[in-house]
Structure formats: C-alpha cells, structure tokens
Structure 1
Amino acid sequence: MTLKAFSQFLFEINSNSLHVLNPSILKSDYVALDLSKSNKPLQSVDVSSSEHLEKYINDYIAQSHAKVAYGGYLETRAIYQRSTYFKDSNPETERNIHLGLDLWIAAETPIYAPLDGVVHSFKNNTNYGDYGPTIILKHCINDVEFHTLYGHLSLASITNLKVGQTFKKGSQIASLGDASVNGDYPAHLHFQIIKDLQGNLGDYPGVCSKLDLEFYKFNCPDPKLLLGF
C-alpha cells in the first residue's frame, strides 16, 4: 500500500471518534506545542532537565487554558543531544527527528486503545532518553494490518501484560509514567503508527536521522490522521 493510500485509510477510519486519552477531554482542550530546535522561546530553556522542560510545558498549557499539549511529528529537536543513545557527530546520521505524536499530560493519566487490537509485544526500554515501558498493539482493520506504539508508560502498565492479550476499542491499556521511569522526560505519551515493525519487539525507533527520514515517513505516517487532529 502506498503512503498516500495508507494515509487516506487512516483518515477514513478516524471518523469513528478515535482517542487515546479520555474522550471527556474535548479537542478544544488540546493545544499544539512546538518543541523543535527552531522554537526561539524554547532556546532559553535547559531542555536537558526534565524539571525545566516540564515547567515550560505546564506553563504553556496553563497560559493556553488547555488540558493537553500535543505535537511533534517530524519535528527536529535539540532535546535528544543530551543522550549518547541519539547523538552523533555527523548531522546527517544524528537521530533528532521525532516520528510520533506526543501528548503531554500528567503522570498516571489513563491511556486507551483507539481501535480493537492485540498486544504484539512490550518492553521496558531503559536507555537514557528512551521510551521506558512501551506497548505495541497490532491492528487489522478492513484487511489492513498495522501497529501502534505507546511509549513512556508506567511500570505497572507492563507488569501483568501478556503477548496476544486483546483490547477492545476504548478500553484502558496503560497509564503514563513519570520521569523516574519514562526515560527522564516530563510525563507524556509517545504515540506512533508503524506499518512494518521490521522484526522489532517492544521497541521501534521513535526518532530518526535526516539520512533515514524518507523511509520512516513512509513506514510511520502522521498519527494525527488517525486521531483526527
């Protein structure tokens, strides 16, 4: 399936009011957030500190009279330079382009399955700056198979989970972790759509380099298409 066809498929199935946060949070309660390295106000923030970044995000949400900040798909971010897991001296191969949609909201916030799905795999990705506890669901809708990834979860979210476990659309699958377990970030959900997991289990790159961008744009289309932002 081409990227255009898959994107159209995602757009068409989002008419069913899909959500990963509580549906009582209205779309008007969400505010777009720019965490790219070109965002001038962010350049004065120590983004290597989860505390400083959390204050910046929470202040932004409050000033916007919102409940959730969202964004990040294909953003080039400076925040990853703090971790050797992403950093590279070559600007072409340094991984700093974000491939998912981030939803910034408090730790312990419940996360819901946007569609019927089966647990493909899960893992605690403990590299500094990584996802922390992560769940990947497999979906098959109208004979189209794809996956969704949920990163930066609580440890409790994967404690009793089983591969092959099924979740119905709208059922709670997890809750958000805090900086002590989620890779040292302010609490948020990293939500990503993946066509081909390429053999990965409980993990998949959520950040890529400029060199690999075209492949990942094809394999990981914009999550906003699915959630209707």
Structure 2
Amino acid sequence: MTVPSLKEVLSRPSASFIEAGAALVDAMSEWDDTKAWKLVERHAIDPEIRSRFAQVSPQLMQAVLRHGAGLSATSSTNAIKWIEENKGRWKGILNPEANLWKRVDLSFGTAGGQIAEASARQDRETACALYNAFMARHDAKLAIGAWMEQRSVYATDNYLSLLLPGQRRDCHLGYDLFAPALTPLFAPADGEIVQAGIIDERLDYGGFLVTRHEVESKTSIWALWGHLSHESVLRWSKGDTVFEGKELARMGDFEENGWWLPHLHLQLSTIPFDDFRLMPGVGEYALQPIWRELFPNPQCLVMGD
C-alpha cells in the first residue's frame, strides 16, 4: 500500500498529525526533529490544518510526529526509570504522608456516575452532597482519581481533539488527590518554580504551579500542580527555589480551581514545555502510547505502590 506524501496528507482538513509523522519518513532520508517540524509547517497550508497546527505546542507536536514515524515520543527514558525505582519518594506531598491516609478510589469513568454527571454540569451543591456521602460510606479522608482513566466529565467543545479530528480528549493524564479545600501540599523534593499562574475559567486549572526537579545528573522531571488556591499560587514566581518538606500550595475551592470538587491534579512530564498551559491534562485515548512516555503515572512515587 502506497503511503501518501506529506503534501497529500496535509491537504486534507481531516488529516491527523499521526499520518503526517508517517509521511515524514519518506520525506526525509534521516529523521531530524527540527527538519520534521519545518516540513510540516511548510506544507500545512489548508486553513483548518493550519489552525489546529497553531494550537498545539511545539513540544507535543514533535512527540506526535515522532510517534507517527515509528519512533519513541521522546528520546529520554531515564526519568521513567527513576520513577519506577523510587516508589514512595514523593509521599510527603501530604501531611500525614499520602500513603497513611485512609483512601478510596473515585471513578469518573462511568457515564452514569452521579458524581461525574454533577461535576460535568458544574452543579456544586449536588456534587458536594454526593461526594460527601460517598466518602462517609467508605470512611475515607482521601479519594484518588486514576491516571489514564477514560472520563465522561469532559463534555464541552474544549475537549475536541486537535490531533485526531472527530475524536475527543477524554483520557485523564494526571493523578488526582481529592481532599478538603485549602488542604496543604508540600514540596516532595528540592526544585524550582518553572511557571505559576491562574487560568480563571470553568473546567480548567484555576490556580496552578509547575515545578522542575533534577532527579539524576542531567535528568529532570516536571510536575504540574493544578486546581490550587489563588493565594498559594501568587506567592511564587518563575525561578523561585522550593525545598523538600516546605509548604508549596493549597488545594483550591470551586471558585478558584476551575469549578471542580476540591482536589489536586498532579501531572508529571518527562519533557519541558515552553508554556505548560499548552500541556494537555486530558488526551485522546487512542494516543495512550505517547501519553505513557510523556506523562508517566505518579502513583508509585506518591503512594509507593
């Protein structure tokens, strides 16, 4: 079967950027990330393609193109190996330590789930009542929202795919810790603030921080902390140093966290982004191989299992 040329792929408004990555293999004698990017940019003439191309961060686009070409999404695997070898290393993000809290899994993956439905329609009163009853039934203080869970709450047009037209972004790329608003969060390791900001829109992050932690020589992990209180975010500026065990932030309430049940969205990244607001917190389920390379599961770091 003949593989379409890059020009042919990018002339179709419905083309996926995975297809573009496959076409690039024939367009280059040897793979080069910079050259691949420039070739796609040059041939993305169709207005719809160009609009989608402009809304995807360069770092994510590079990973998608590499995957489409049959390559790893990122050339570095050291960070993932470090995570696997350091179970429980970040349990100090809560006090008492995260693995000591009585906890229960809270799924947002079932379309008929009442808490999920109330959250999706931003019904604070119902969501809180259902959540409180759920926690009481399980006699739990901490609820866990799973990494890579397919969720029904991402129902707005904000979650339409830019990478795979016709699909939705419904795969959760972070690890959620649900606890009362203003629950303190502590730096799990020394590091620095890479980005601090507030996205004051419903169903977004509200207050957020991004920290960088050097885990080995020349190997770093970036962590996005989402749904934080505004006051705790505004204490920080890019370049500030964070110290292990010191308070980093606090979970935000509905008005400050994007109108979600109070929780932390913790997302790890093995690559830096120029602007972490463009790092997806929810991805296309079909692109799981990419997400697993870029955004590894924080659970073993936080809980030790």
Asked if these proteins are the same fold (TM beyond 0.5), I'd say: yes
User: Where does residue 100 of structure 2 map in the other structure?
Assistant: 27
Aligned residue runs from structure 1 range 119-198, under 5 A = 119-143=193-217, 144-198=219-273
Write the distance in 2 (CA, Å) between the matches of 1:76 and 1:25: 24
**TM-score, normalised via structure 1 length:** 0.87
The secondary structure found in structure 1 opposite 2:236 is coil
1:73–1:101 Cα contact (<8 Å) kept = yes
User: Where does residue 61 of structure 1 map in the other structure?
Assistant: 135
- The AA in structure 1 aligned to 2:208 is T
* Between 131-140 and 203-212, the greater mean CA deviation after superposition: 203-212
2:115–2:130 Cα contact (<8 Å) kept = no
**Moved runs in structure 1, 4+ residues, more than 4 A?**
1-5
* Between 202-211 and 124-133, the greater mean CA deviation after superposition: 202-211
Percentage identity across aligned positions?
26
Gaps of 5+ in 2: 1-73
Q: Structure 1 residue 136: deviation in Å?
A: 0.3
Aligned residue runs from structure 1 range 49-128, under 5 A = 49-81=123-155, 83-87=156-160, 93-128=167-202
The secondary structure found in structure 1 opposite 2:135 is helix
1:80–1:87 Cα contact (<8 Å) kept = no
Q: Structure 1 residue 25: deviation in Å?
A: 5.8
User: Where does residue 206 of structure 1 map in the other structure?
Assistant: 281
- The AA in structure 2 aligned to 1:205 is P
Normalized per residue, the structure richer in helix is: 2
Q: Structure 1 residue 62: deviation in Å?
A: 1.4
Structure with bigger gyration radius: 2
Write the distance in 1 (CA, Å) between the matches of 2:201 and 2:169: 14
Write the distance in 2 (CA, Å) between the matches of 1:103 and 1:85: 23
Write the distance in 2 (CA, Å) between the matches of 1:224 and 1:106: 20
Normalized per residue, the structure richer in strand is: 1
Gaps of 5+ in 1: none
Name which structure has the greater RCO, CA cutoff 8 Å, separation 6+: 1
Alignment root-mean-square deviation, CA? 2.6
Q: Structure 1 residue 54: deviation in Å?
A: 2.7
